[in-house]
Amino acid sequence: MTAQILDGKALSAKLRHETAADVAEFTQKTGVTPHLAAVLVGEDPASAVYVRNKQRACEQAGLKSTLHRLSPETSQQELLDLVARLIDDNSVHGILVQLPLPKQIDERLVLDAVHPLKDVDAFHPENVGLLVQGRPRFLPCTPWGVQQLLASGNIETAGAHAVVLGRSEIVGKPMANMLVQRGKGGDATVTICHSKTRDLTEITRTADILIAAIGLPEFVTAEMVKPGAVVIDVGINRVNDKLVGDVAYEPVKEIASAITPVPGGVGPMTIAMLLKNTLTAARLQVSR
């Protein structure tokens, strides 16, 4: 068996084209151009590339994008002051504070400071709570992208056993919450595994859908995957001059029924869903 490749690059291009059409229609009706403000603190190379890709995607979809670059020595108060200004700016509809932040800054405090209506990453406690209750305002970009990839491959989640490796606030927890919700893309039976999980391989081998989001290069081996399982690799790790995921791609693709590549899998989908959230934020704010 050789796995079906779930191509995030192709799907994201399709979704971004659809978003561009929606943005054009929205702007024509309202005279408002959806505007995403991104904040980059420090000089992390991966973050800089990611933000640049987001900016390019915004421009291609007809959204306005503004990047605020701050030095690595920026204080927590200086960052909070910038966030407050962006909240007060009615021309800004979405605020994205790129993680990670320098060690002198409390990430949670900063993310909590972003107004829930402009929180296009869906990290604010109010938006997390709405998601858990099954009535989301915004869907977290990476888990939403995973759901879209599963749907594109006609992979049934209802009744499936989904195992999520990782319990981060960005991917692991929201992914599990979305898969367990009633309706399309949900209704799965979900297990979350983490660094304290016992008998990890025994659990992962029961997964119909295995989602790896732990940030450890090629951690998931073929022995950890049930033959015929769907494997979603959220990880992206640099090993020497090569980008690899959290899954040992070559051996695992020979036993999985479907798999995402790295790069070109989940990564492009995250940006596509961010554009949709920014348009939703603009719609919500214009209608108030």
SS3 32: coil
Is there a catalytic annotation at residue 76? no
Whose tokens are 């997390």? That residue is 128
| Cβ atoms of 110 and 101 closer than 8 Å | yes
Structure tokens at 121: 């990453």
Cis peptide, bond prior to residue 263, ω within 30 of zero: yes
Residue 75 Cα to chain centre, angstroms: 27
Q: CB count, 10 Å around CB of 185?
A: 19
Catalytic residue among 4, 22, 28, 54: 54
Farthest-apart Cα atoms in the chain, separation? 57
Catalytic residue at 233?
Answer: no
Alpha-carbon gap, residue 196 to 284, rounded angstroms: 41
Q: Catalytic: which of 119, 121, 208, 233?
A: 121
Per the annotation, the verdict on 121 as an active-site residue is yes
Active site residues: 54, 98, 121
